[in-house]
Structure 1
Amino acid sequence: MPAKKTFDDDQVIEQIMHLFWQNGYYHTSMDEIVATSGVKKQSLYNALGDKHTLYLKALQRCYHQGLTASVQAMQQLEQAGETPLTVLGMLFSRDLITDQHPAGDMMANAIAEFGNTDQAVTQIINQFYDDYTTLMAAAILKGQASDIIRQDQSSTALAQSLLEARIGLQTHIRQGSQPDIKQREATWLAFLKV
């Protein structure tokens, strides 16, 4: 008879996500995962999979949490009557400096660590950035319709440029620098403004 599982999968993935976020995939050992989760190695393997599978689950969790929180924050700003530029400012600078998560962004960290060498990782990252670009492009499109955001480029092209600037900031933050996020945000909003 199999032993009864004594841990919550979601809670364990959350703990492991923060560990991978802080250390990266290659600098996180299974022993650290076991110590952080408090779950025996064999139980982890049986219930959640090997290290690579755990990393993919952690990356998926980060993706869903980040996107859900961004959509909720966007909706709150829109319901409060804020302008599309305010929404874009939030999407640009959201969680760049926070005590809730390790430095940088787990997706940007995964790109730096894996490049395009792992198809499963690349697929999750691409989907996240496609979805985030769509959020930004929707806000830009609303601003273009209201004549407050420039119209000489498509909403998607402007959103991609804004996202690439955000990814660059995330990389600098991960390297330990402390850029002036509000100043960068103001510069980009001025660039987008009519």
Structure 2
Amino acid sequence: MNKLPAKKTFSDEEVIAQIMQLFWQNGYYHTSMDEIVATSGVKKQSLYNAFGDKHTLYLKSLQHYHQQILAACAQAMQQLEQNGESPLTVLMMLYSRGLTEPKQPTGDLMANAIAEFGATDSDVKQATDHFYEDYLTLMASVILKGQASQTIMTTATSMTLAQSLLEARIGLQTRLRQGAQPNIAEHERTWQAFLQP
């Protein structure tokens, strides 16, 4: 008589969310499989069976982060727009969102991944590129609305402005990860003044 496979007692999404937080806090190289097992509460063999090795878990964590952040941004954008806020206000939310969130690790999981891997891992690079392309598209779409309503400067394209803003955001995330305490509100005011027509 064939043995039935053991019933899975955990939620894939919840486990990946826990592991994502661990990678976000410690980085890839400073996170061991033993720590992953302890954090997730799932046995090592069960993790391997369900997800694969540590590298695969990391990629799944990046994917989860991507979905979580973009969904939260889209929801926040919609709320601000429904409240009648200007495109510039929406854009500043995208610029500074999550930078000083006390309940999460400092920096940004994607910026941390770039700092750790650079371009040495094609899978990680693909994941980070995909995330930043989507974030860039969100920013550019808001800038385009602001340019159409003449509340954001039109002397540069929406994509050029979005790229500059996104790179400034990544720079702030890196500084935060290093333990610096930049004045986010001051940075916002500077960008607002710059972006106004």
TM-score (normalizing by structure 1): 0.98
Structure 1 Cα separation of the partners of residues 139 and 9 of structure 2: 41
Which residue does 2:154 correspond to in 1? 151
Deviation at 1:3, TM superposition (A): 1.8
**Alignment partner of 1:100 is 2:103:** yes
Structure 2 Cα separation of the partners of residues 111 and 47 of structure 1: 26
- Amino-acid identity (%): 69
Which residue does 2:166 correspond to in 1? 163
Which residue does 2:112 correspond to in 1? 109
Q: 1:120 aligns with which of 123, 127, 132?
A: 123
**Alignment partner of 1:134 is 2:114:** no
Deviations 1:162-191 (A, max 9, x none): 000000000000011111111101111111
Amino acid paired to 1:70: C
Which residue does 1:29 correspond to in 2? 32
TM-score (normalizing by structure 2): 0.97
Which residue does 1:59 correspond to in 2? 62
Unaligned runs of 5+ in 1: none
Deviations 1:103-136 (A, max 9, x none): 1000000000010111111111111111111111
Unaligned runs of 5+ in 2: none
Q: How does 1:52-91 map to 2 (within 5 A)?
A: 52-91=55-94
Q: Which runs of 4+ in 1 moved over 6 A?
A: none
Q: What is the aligned residue count?
A: 194
Structure 1 Cα separation of the partners of residues 193 and 150 of structure 2: 14
Deviation at 1:100, TM superposition (A): 2.5
**Alignment partner of 1:193 is 2:196:** yes
Amino acid paired to 2:72: A
Deviation at 1:82, TM superposition (A): 0.5
Q: CA RMSD for the aligned pairs? A: 0.7
